Structure 1
Amino acid sequence: MTRNVGGIDRTLRILLGLVLIALAATGTVGWWGWLGVVPLLTGLVGWCPPYAMLGLNTCKTKG
C-alpha cells in the first residue's frame, strides 16, 4: 500500500473520526457516529481506498 493521504488531509480525518466516535459514545448522535472509525483508520494508516481507485494523492512524499 502506497500512502495517498498526507498532511492536512490526515489531520482532518483523524480529528473528524475522533469527534464522531466521541459523539457516538456519549449518545449525542446516533449509531452513524461510529462510522468515524473509517476516517480515523484511513488517517492513521495514511491510505484511502477510494483515493487509490480514483488516482488521487494528497501525500507529498512517495512510499
Structure 2
Amino acid sequence: MSEPRCAGCGRRLKHPTPTGLGPVCARRLNPARIRVTTDRDQMPGQTELHLIPHQPTLWSL
C-alpha cells in the first residue's frame, strides 16, 4: 500500500486530511482566515453601533 501524498505538491503526509492537502499547501491555497472581533477589539476607522433589539411586544402593537 502506498503512503498518502499531498494533492498539491506530492509531499508525504504524516496525517492525511479529507481535502488531500498537506498543511503547507492548505495555508498557501487558503491564506485568508476569519478574524473574530470582540467588543473591545474594533476595526480601525469603524464606529461601534449600539443595536437595540426590536422584539415586538404586546405594548408595541
Q: Tell me which interval the TM-score lies in, with the shorter structure as reference length.
A: under 0.3
- Relative to its length, the structure with more helix (as a share) is 1
TM value normalised by structure 2: 0.23
Which entry has the higher C-alpha Rg, 1 or 2? 2
TM-score scaled to structure 1, two decimals? 0.22
